[in-house]
Structure 1
Amino acid sequence: MKHKFQLLSPHILIMHAEHETDRPILAAILGERRTLLLDAGNSPAHAELFRKELSEYGYRQPDMIALTHWHWDHTFGLSAWDLPTVAHEGTAEALTRLSGLDWSDEGLEGLAVQGIISDESILHIRKEYGSHRTIRFMKPDIVFADKITIDLGGITCELNHVGGDHSADSCVLYVKEDNVLFLGDALGPSVYGGPRQYSSTGFLKLLNLAYKYDAQWYVESHGVPMSGTEFRADLASWERLARVVDVFGQDRERVVLEMKTYLKLEELPKDLQQGVEYFIAGTK
């Protein structure tokens, strides 16, 4: 697979997501005095690839790391960097719990049964690490509860805790001078501990928060960067769906009818059909 890198703005270099092993976007935010790495990668191999790319571009290597949330694909590369790490207190607590777990093939099956990871995560971890895997956990050095501002020298990064269905510790990172908002996976559904679901009210709250930034670029960890206009257009049908579920709750037939009418379609696209199930599950 050809890895895709992009200078998103004057101070931000990203490595795009790879879905084969669930590698999220990694970003280097380049200040005058230091470089901040957003998320650590899903493995040392993922981390090393980005490190080499930064070197080839001639950019300063990261001096510190900020984590969006605790999930394995965002944190298992921490040991490859061994840098001061900033994280929400919930992320720090989760990583402490993970460090004592068994990540062998047999252990992975048990973790899925416990709802700590998903069956999909097992497939991705096996493909990323192979059969012989040693996963070393690093504890965050700087832990915050609500928000924290990081001065990189001429570039200001604001890491804000927003929570949400995907992970209670989810944070967004706003790069003020470049007007770029990294959303992590905050707008995603829950993925561990049972069927995937969204709270329609919670989703709308997070979406409204994201819109308030009025960012030039919106970056979701497993998507592609979007301009503000593209982001609003991409989320318009999901916003409408959430509002419909807020009104009609578990009345699936009415929800589907309202969405078909709104979109002027005879049949909802597969992603929205799935979205209907996620949001209805979130009303229970």
Structure 2
Amino acid sequence: MLEHLNGRVWLYPHDPDQDAIRPSVAVIADDRGSVLIDAGNSPKHAREIQAAIAAAGLPAPRWLVYTHHHWDHTWGACAWPDVTVVAHSSAVPILTAEGERPWSHRYLHDQVKANPKLGPSFRARALAVPDWTDFRIVVPDQTFDDTLTLPTGVVLRHVGGNHAPDSLVAIDSGVVLIGDAFYPPPYHQRTSEDSADYAMIKQLLSERHDWYVDAHSPPRRRSAALAESG
């Protein structure tokens, strides 16, 4: 079920079950076509979000923005019809290479056997996609390098960071949608010295948005985000 957050921004909440790896997905509603922030972690997840958009009576998405290339934010894209997929330019070669991998349950199993650190992510992928028949990774249709303002006024800004080089934030109605931008690297690439990107957190807080939304936590008002940052 979609939850109204602020202004034009609605949120399909994240799944608190960490094994599921289901991030939140935002809808920025506009009569010219809504802007979807992230695709869901699978076609099944995407279809649930589509049903929630219809139930809320919101305009269908016309743009789909990837906050970054990781599977749980992009693998639902093949189930979104008639959208322009937007991402940072550095996502293109990464997703192109990902699209060439022979995704299947056997492939996931073999990859985990070769590198056990992939286990949490790849097991979640196997649960998310029970049938690979129509699955495909969607490469962006439109890219940018620094900033981009969509026709509906949604502002996208590349922030990069240690979690993913293509990370961007989306800003609208006093809300900043952060994806996983300030997170440490993914588990299989992480070392004991890696931590959250506190410089990025400090910068985002200095911009004084009303709401801060990362993809795997409940949304935070600025006062709560400041308190948590210390």
- TM-score, scaled to structure 2: 0.90
Distance in 2 (CA, whole Å) between partners of 1:229 and 1:159 is 23
The amino acid of 1:56's aligned partner reads A
Q: Which residue of 2 aligns with 1:185?
A: 180
Distance in 2 (CA, whole Å) between partners of 1:148 and 1:235 is 28
Q: In the TM superposition, what is the alpha-carbon distance from 1:94 to its structure 2 partner?
A: 1.1
Higher mean alpha-carbon deviation, 189-198 vs 221-230, is at 189-198
1:30-49 aligned within 5 A: 30-49=29-48
How many residues end up aligned between the 2 structures?
A: 225
In structure 1, runs of 5+ residues without a counterpart are 237-284
Aligned with 1:232: secondary structure?
helix
Distance in 1 (CA, whole Å) between partners of 2:142 and 2:121 is 28
The amino acid of 2:88's aligned partner reads H
Distance 1:24 1:216, change over 3 A: same
The answer to which structure has the higher helix fraction is 1
The amino acid of 1:12's aligned partner reads V
Distance 1:69 1:111, change over 3 A: farther
Distance in 1 (CA, whole Å) between partners of 2:113 and 2:142 is 32
Aligned with 1:55: secondary structure?
helix
- Greater Rg, structure 1 or structure 2? 1
Distance 1:111 1:68, change over 3 A: farther
Aligned with 1:172: secondary structure?
strand
Equivalent residue in structure 2 for 1:215, among 173, 188, 209: 209
Higher mean alpha-carbon deviation, 226-235 vs 103-112, is at 103-112
Q: Which residue of 1 aligns with 2:154?
A: 157
Q: Which residue of 1 aligns with 2:91?
A: 91
Q: Which residue of 2 aligns with 1:273?
A: none
- TM-score, scaled to structure 1: 0.74
Q: In the TM superposition, what is the alpha-carbon distance from 1:137 to its structure 2 partner?
A: 1.6
Aligned with 2:164: secondary structure?
coil
| 1:168 pairs with 2:165 | yes
Distance in 1 (CA, whole Å) between partners of 2:140 and 2:175 is 24
Distance in 2 (CA, whole Å) between partners of 1:226 and 1:15 is 15
Aligned with 1:118: secondary structure?
helix
Equivalent residue in structure 2 for 1:229, among 192, 202, 223: 223
Identity %: 29
Q: In the TM superposition, what is the alpha-carbon distance from 1:60 to its structure 2 partner?
A: 0.6
Q: In the TM superposition, what is the alpha-carbon distance from 1:198 to its structure 2 partner?
A: 6.0
The amino acid of 2:202's aligned partner reads N
In structure 2, runs of 5+ residues without a counterpart are none
Distance in 2 (CA, whole Å) between partners of 1:161 and 1:26 is 18
Report which structure shows greater RCO (CA 8 Å, sep ≥6): 2
- C-alpha contact 1:26 1:38 (8 A) present in aligned 2: yes
The amino acid of 1:97's aligned partner reads A
